[in-house]
Structure 1
Amino acid sequence: MSDVIHLLPDSVANQIAAGEVVQRPASVVKELMENSIDAGASKIQVKVIDAGKSEIQIVDDGVGMSDTDARLAFERHATSKIKTSHDLFSISTMGFRGEALASVAAVAQIELRTRQQTDELGTCILIEGSKIKSQESISCPVGANFIIRNLFYNTPARRKFLKSNITELNNIIAEFEKIALCNIEKSLELYHADNLLISLTPSTFKQRIISLFGKKLENYLIPVEAQTSIVRISGFVTIPEGAKKKKACQYFYINGRYMRNSYFCKAVQSAYERLITEGEQVQFFLRMEVDPSRIDVNIHPTKTEIKFEDDNAIWQILSASVREALGKYNAIPALDFDKQGCPDIPVVGSSNSIGLPQVHIDESYNPFNTNDHATSDSVHKWQQMYQTLTNNQQAKPASQELNFSEFKDDGGFDIVGEGSTLFQFGKRYVVVLKNDRFVFIEQHRAHYRILYDRYIEQLSQRKGFSQGLLFPELIHFDVVKLSVFNLIREELIVLGFDFSDMGNGTFSINGVPDGTADVSPQLLIENLIGDENLSGRSVGEKIHQVIASHLAMQSAIAIGQVLNQDAMENLVKQLFATTNCKYTPDGKPILHFVELSQINKVFM
């Protein structure tokens, strides 16, 4: 039997390795930015086109490479960071495995221009699928300029499974932010299709956090400092009011390297025990410095998983440091047991005289005299109070009344008309009784369906109605949210929103769609942008349905709202005029029919 085991060609081996190192365009940005940092660059520019699918360009002013090094850098396990196995236990650079460039070159077309300070001319190398096509001397600035084109061009299956542009761009921004937070002394810029998304100058750690995540976060940050023989901790955590239900900013750095560590996250979370509600996530930006010989970075090709020799001790130190910071800056509510619940007793001065209590009796009062003025006056006040309570039970109509004729369901049932009776049940259901038949209508879902159809029609006809705000509200977006907002901004304007660009990601909300005045426009837009269903879509992938559904759900009548007779009739008429009166846009039932015969069966 012939031999069947053989060595794979380098090009195939590189493509296999690329499956671990290069997962998406964001992976390329991460690896090349880390190389620029190791090269001592003080300024790094990242430019992407088509969310990195078509082109990624990384330009730095680092030390550059010689002709030989530029060619050798694309070979597997070629690196300048380590030389012996002992160096693996004292790693101080971002990269060390020598796999990144070889993996990228295996699945993309690369152009590299680089020059050292001591050289008059630089070198330009063109590589496709791990094969060097050309290398020549050129004139170029000191540093390196990587251009990666057509990522996964030779692995169509990998390219097919890339997400939409907005999702891939958000992943690139996330990797950019991770590197920017731990390199505050460097100037960093991120461009997408020649549009500047992020521009950062050298600053303090706190200023870098605010530049990336908005000024609103500044009011919640408190510093954390701790120094022991095992670890040195510095950074910021937020006060309990800064916790979030989802998408909280949680960043750990070890010796300048971003890492994921759920164990240490629990240490920070434990410091907020009984300070935040269940399900909320603490936000933190913490840097730790540990002796490189006491950690192992060589766990995963992405180098974000790190093993610690003293993880239990660091857990205790981290938790204690956060607790100390919360207490030092009064983030923990204080309980004064000497004064808690005590009555406020005024202090009596020596000059004040205390008199005996006086009792006043109305000798003219006769409880049997029904014509007494005081009694009639009291009864009149009770009648006024009762009338006030009755009036308070009347709610304003849920929406503007439209001219509708009587509508019928699929079975020909005349839902609103002569002989029908409407009433509200449990402050949730509108019940219609007619011809020995009950119809239970869930008011929130019914209004949700009505508004959804209205918004869809406005978006399709590109014509909505705006209601101006007496006091415009300001809303600020970070880079990730700004990219989503720019995607849907035109559609929001069609619906009736009116925005003014104030610069630096801040917008003034001057008007809102008709019928949403009772909902906070700032909260409405923030919830819409945070919708996970929206971030993964493009304009051509039913984005109108996502916007209409979210706005309609936020603006619909709330469960528990009391409706008067006119509001109930108007709601029922508009519901049976929609495209689907039986189900909400997300498939939940709106109404339920109960026949008299069904009730009779219960008592048989």
Structure 2
Amino acid sequence: MSDIIQLLPDSVANQIAAGEVIQRPASVVKELVENAIDAGAQHIDVLIVDAGRTSIQVIDDGKGMSDTDARLAFERHATSKIRTADDLFSLHTMGFRGEALASIAAVAQVELKTRQGNADIGTCLSLSGSRVQGQEPCSCPAGSNFNVENLFFNVPARRKFLKSNSTELNNIITAFERIVLVYPNISFTLHSNGVEMFNLKENGLRQRILDVFGKRLNQDLLPVKVNTTVCKISGFVGKPESARKKGAHQYFFVNGRYMKHPYFNKAVMTAFERLVPAGEQVPYFIYFDVSPQDIDVNIHPTKTEIKFENEQAIWQILSAAVKESVGIFNDVPSIDFDVQGKPDIPVFNPDVHPAAAPKVNYNPQYNPFMESKLNQRKEMPDAWEQLYEGLKGPQQDETEIFAPQENQEMPSTGREMIAEKSPAHYQYKGKYIMTAVKSGLMIIDQHRAHVRILYEQYLQELKDRKGSSQKVLFPEVISLTVSEMTLLDKVLPELVSLGFELTDLGSGSYAINAIPAGLEGINTVNLVHDMITSVMEKGSNAIEEMNQSLALSLARNAAVPQGQVLNNEEMENMVNSLFACSNVNYTPDGKNILCILRQQEIEHLLG
């Protein structure tokens, strides 16, 4: 039998590698800009055409390359960043694998013009599908100029599954923002189809954040800074009033590299547990400076997941630092800290011996349950029974409400529920409506119920285009980031159909002159932000999904909040409206609206 295992050609191997490294146009931008930073560039220009489908050009004023290095740079595992395996544990550069350029050249047509500063002439190298088309001397500025055209031209399936131009452009902007926020000492520009989207001058970190996300953030940023033997932490967190349900700007960076870290996100949010409503997030921009030997960045192709050796210690340091920042600036008068003054920042010191176990003094002869008065059960006086005489209804009435039924399922339709419920309702702590049904006690989350009711109402209005508008006396001004502006044109017709009226004031600012009728008193600026963010997260062209996102954002903002007291008539109307909905059990985003405490469960609890 002949041999069947063969080595893949480099062109095929590079295409396979490109599937992990180059997933969309934003991946190309990320890799090329990071290479420019590693080359010591002080100014980087990014030019995009058709959201990267047609071309992506990155120009820098870095060190440049010789003609030999230019050609070798597109070979797999060719890099100037490391020499031995030990170098992986002392990385100070963005790239190190030597895969990016080879992966890009495998799925696109690439032209590179580059010149070193001390050279009189540069070199121009052309590649297509990993194959060198030609190389010749050329005149060009010092640095490098990468031009990537026809991305995925030889992988039709990958090109076909790219999202819309607005979605892909938004992904490019996101990747661009994650880089520029780390390097305020470098100037950047970003152009899309000839239109300038960013022009970021060399500046301080705070100003760079404001240049990217708008000046409205300035009053909400609180500085965070702490130095320990484990790590150094710096950056900014938002004030509690800057919290948002969606779209909060949350960024972690370690040693100049963006990362995702849900565990550290929880550390930040613990400082705001009683300061922001449940489900809302505050913005933050946190920068970690950690010894390269204490982290591992080589666990994911995109390098956004990073392992820390002292993860728990850093969690405690971060949480305490954020609490200290909020406390020092007296952002909230009554912050409930465990200790007075500055919270203790834990400092890791391997030379310190662990503390001895505390001694506990106790009396071995003491038995708290011996001859306890709790065990001396007293009979209830007969007079108490007289207090309840006349309060019990007829036995058949009681069994009609609480008829025990084995393994009864939750009713699936509003028609079944409305036939069972009691006309009397009780509100618990302004959050839950309780009413008796045949199978037991039904508990309804009033906020979620109202979200479901309003969601179906707004969704129908969107479909029918019947939204009525209400002019506002004092128009509010909303400031949008570049990524939000790219989606506004897509969302604007839906906003108008709902009843919004926006006027472009220039520089990313819009005046909200009218809002949908019935939304008076709602924070319309946050509402519009939430709707744009919802559409951004959907990443779809489907009008139906867009309508659902907009309707859900409206419903969340207009629904009665938890804690609002309702009278019996209001509770009755809400329950009846809920039962008329197409789905009474779940909110549009899948959260439970109600539950039924069965008669058997009640008897078991009281047994």
Q: Same fold (TM over 0.5)?
A: yes
Residue 81 of structure 1: how far off its partner (Å) = 1.1
* 2:504 alignment counterpart: 501
Please tell me whether the aligned partners of residues 527 and 554 of structure 2 are also in contact (alpha carbons under 8 angstroms): no
Does 2:167 match 1:167?
yes
How do 1:349-360 residues align onto structure 2 when only pairs under 5 Å count? Answer: none
Query: CA distance change for structure 1 residues 211 and 426 in 2, over 3 Å: closer, same or farther?
Result: farther
The 2-side partners of 1:327 and 1:184 are apart by 28
* 1:325 alignment counterpart: 325
Equivalent position SS for 2:148? strand
* 2:203 alignment counterpart: 203
Equivalent position SS for 1:522? helix
The 2-side partners of 1:553 and 1:328 are apart by 37
Aligned residues: 473
* 1:374 alignment counterpart: none
How do 1:240-389 residues align onto structure 2 when only pairs under 5 Å count? Answer: 240-331=240-331, 333-334=333-334
Amino acid of the structure 2 residue aligned with 1:88 = L
The 2-side partners of 1:178 and 1:101 are apart by 20
Equivalent position SS for 1:531? helix
Equivalent position SS for 1:302? coil
The 2-side partners of 1:549 and 1:98 are apart by 47
The 1-side partners of 2:333 and 2:503 are apart by 40
The 2-side partners of 1:39 and 1:16 are apart by 27
Q: What's the Cα RMSD here?
A: 3.8
Amino acid of the structure 1 residue aligned with 2:237 = V
Residue 465 of structure 1: how far off its partner (Å) = 7.3
Amino acid of the structure 2 residue aligned with 1:479 = V
Residue 491 of structure 1: how far off its partner (Å) = 5.0
The 1-side partners of 2:452 and 2:336 are apart by 47
Query: CA distance change for structure 1 residues 80 and 552 in 2, over 3 Å: closer, same or farther?
Result: closer
Please tell me whether the aligned partners of residues 65 and 143 of structure 1 are also in contact (alpha carbons under 8 angstroms): yes
How do 1:71-82 residues align onto structure 2 when only pairs under 5 Å count? Answer: 71-82=71-82
Query: CA distance change for structure 1 residues 10 and 507 in 2, over 3 Å: closer, same or farther?
Result: same
How does the TM-score come out when normalised to structure 1?
Answer: 0.69
Does 2:124 match 1:133?
no
* 1:346 alignment counterpart: none
The 1-side partners of 2:550 and 2:63 are apart by 53
Equivalent position SS for 1:234? strand
Equivalent position SS for 1:166? helix
1:463-500 deviation line (CA, Å, top 9, x unaligned)? x9765432121111112221111223355456654433
The 2-side partners of 1:135 and 1:20 are apart by 28
* 1:70 alignment counterpart: 70
Query: CA distance change for structure 1 residues 28 and 280 in 2, over 3 Å: closer, same or farther?
Result: same
Please tell me whether the aligned partners of residues 327 and 335 of structure 2 are also in contact (alpha carbons under 8 angstroms): no
Equivalent position SS for 2:196? strand
Query: CA distance change for structure 1 residues 97 and 523 in 2, over 3 Å: closer, same or farther?
Result: closer
539, 545, 570: which one aligns with 1:536: 539
* 1:480 alignment counterpart: 483
The 1-side partners of 2:201 and 2:214 are apart by 15
Residue 544 of structure 1: how far off its partner (Å) = 7.4
Does 2:15 match 1:15?
yes
The 2-side partners of 1:291 and 1:582 are apart by 56
Amino acid of the structure 2 residue aligned with 1:21 = V
Query: CA distance change for structure 1 residues 502 and 535 in 2, over 3 Å: closer, same or farther?
Result: farther
Please tell me whether the aligned partners of residues 57 and 145 of structure 2 are also in contact (alpha carbons under 8 angstroms): yes
* 1:123 alignment counterpart: 123
Residue 71 of structure 1: how far off its partner (Å) = 1.0
Please tell me whether the aligned partners of residues 61 and 143 of structure 1 are also in contact (alpha carbons under 8 angstroms): yes
* 2:368 alignment counterpart: none
* 1:35 alignment counterpart: 35
Query: CA distance change for structure 1 residues 169 and 535 in 2, over 3 Å: closer, same or farther?
Result: farther
Percent identical pairs in the alignment equals 50
456, 469, 473: which one aligns with 1:470: 473
1:421-444 deviation line (CA, Å, top 9, x unaligned)? xxx9989xxxxxxxxxxxxxx999
Query: CA distance change for structure 1 residues 280 and 513 in 2, over 3 Å: closer, same or farther?
Result: closer
Please tell me whether the aligned partners of residues 187 and 200 of structure 2 are also in contact (alpha carbons under 8 angstroms): yes
Equivalent position SS for 2:252? strand
* 2:218 alignment counterpart: 218
The 2-side partners of 1:426 and 1:94 are apart by 61
Amino acid of the structure 2 residue aligned with 1:531 = S
Equivalent position SS for 1:224? strand
* 1:114 alignment counterpart: 114
The 1-side partners of 2:332 and 2:521 are apart by 34
Query: CA distance change for structure 1 residues 489 and 154 in 2, over 3 Å: closer, same or farther?
Result: same
Query: CA distance change for structure 1 residues 561 and 128 in 2, over 3 Å: closer, same or farther?
Result: farther
Residue 280 of structure 1: how far off its partner (Å) = 3.2
Which moved further from structure 2: 514-523 or 256-265?
Answer: 514-523
* 1:46 alignment counterpart: 46
Equivalent position SS for 2:94? coil
Residue 326 of structure 1: how far off its partner (Å) = 2.2
Structure 1: gaps spanning 5 or more residues: 338-423, 428-441, 569-574, 576-580, 590-604
Query: CA distance change for structure 1 residues 471 and 279 in 2, over 3 Å: closer, same or farther?
Result: closer
Please tell me whether the aligned partners of residues 182 and 253 of structure 1 are also in contact (alpha carbons under 8 angstroms): yes
Equivalent position SS for 1:508? strand
Amino acid of the structure 2 residue aligned with 1:153 = F
Query: CA distance change for structure 1 residues 13 and 553 in 2, over 3 Å: closer, same or farther?
Result: same
1:314-333 deviation line (CA, Å, top 9, x unaligned)? 22322222222222222354
Query: CA distance change for structure 1 residues 293 and 218 in 2, over 3 Å: closer, same or farther?
Result: same
Query: CA distance change for structure 1 residues 514 and 271 in 2, over 3 Å: closer, same or farther?
Result: closer
Amino acid of the structure 1 residue aligned with 2:321 = S
Query: CA distance change for structure 1 residues 329 and 516 in 2, over 3 Å: closer, same or farther?
Result: closer
Please tell me whether the aligned partners of residues 456 and 581 of structure 2 are also in contact (alpha carbons under 8 angstroms): no
The 2-side partners of 1:8 and 1:510 are apart by 62
Query: CA distance change for structure 1 residues 126 and 458 in 2, over 3 Å: closer, same or farther?
Result: same
Equivalent position SS for 1:530? helix
Equivalent position SS for 1:37? helix
Please tell me whether the aligned partners of residues 534 and 553 of structure 2 are also in contact (alpha carbons under 8 angstroms): no
Please tell me whether the aligned partners of residues 515 and 555 of structure 1 are also in contact (alpha carbons under 8 angstroms): no
The 1-side partners of 2:115 and 2:65 are apart by 6
Residue 113 of structure 1: how far off its partner (Å) = 1.6
How does the TM-score come out when normalised to structure 2?
Answer: 0.69
* 2:186 alignment counterpart: 186
Residue 89 of structure 1: how far off its partner (Å) = 1.9
Query: CA distance change for structure 1 residues 266 and 119 in 2, over 3 Å: closer, same or farther?
Result: same
Residue 102 of structure 1: how far off its partner (Å) = 0.4
Equivalent position SS for 2:268? helix
Please tell me whether the aligned partners of residues 500 and 507 of structure 1 are also in contact (alpha carbons under 8 angstroms): yes
Does 2:514 match 1:511?
yes
Query: CA distance change for structure 1 residues 253 and 465 in 2, over 3 Å: closer, same or farther?
Result: closer
Residue 501 of structure 1: how far off its partner (Å) = 2.2
The 1-side partners of 2:291 and 2:473 are apart by 59
Equivalent position SS for 1:226? strand
Please tell me whether the aligned partners of residues 452 and 552 of structure 1 are also in contact (alpha carbons under 8 angstroms): no
The 1-side partners of 2:475 and 2:4 are apart by 74
The 1-side partners of 2:531 and 2:163 are apart by 20
> Which structure is larger by alpha-carbon Rg, 1 or 2?
1
Which moved further from structure 2: 294-303 or 58-67?
Answer: 294-303
Amino acid of the structure 2 residue aligned with 1:179 = I
Query: CA distance change for structure 1 residues 554 and 277 in 2, over 3 Å: closer, same or farther?
Result: closer
Query: CA distance change for structure 1 residues 491 and 121 in 2, over 3 Å: closer, same or farther?
Result: farther
Residue 508 of structure 1: how far off its partner (Å) = 1.2
Please tell me whether the aligned partners of residues 222 and 329 of structure 1 are also in contact (alpha carbons under 8 angstroms): yes
Residue 192 of structure 1: how far off its partner (Å) = 1.8
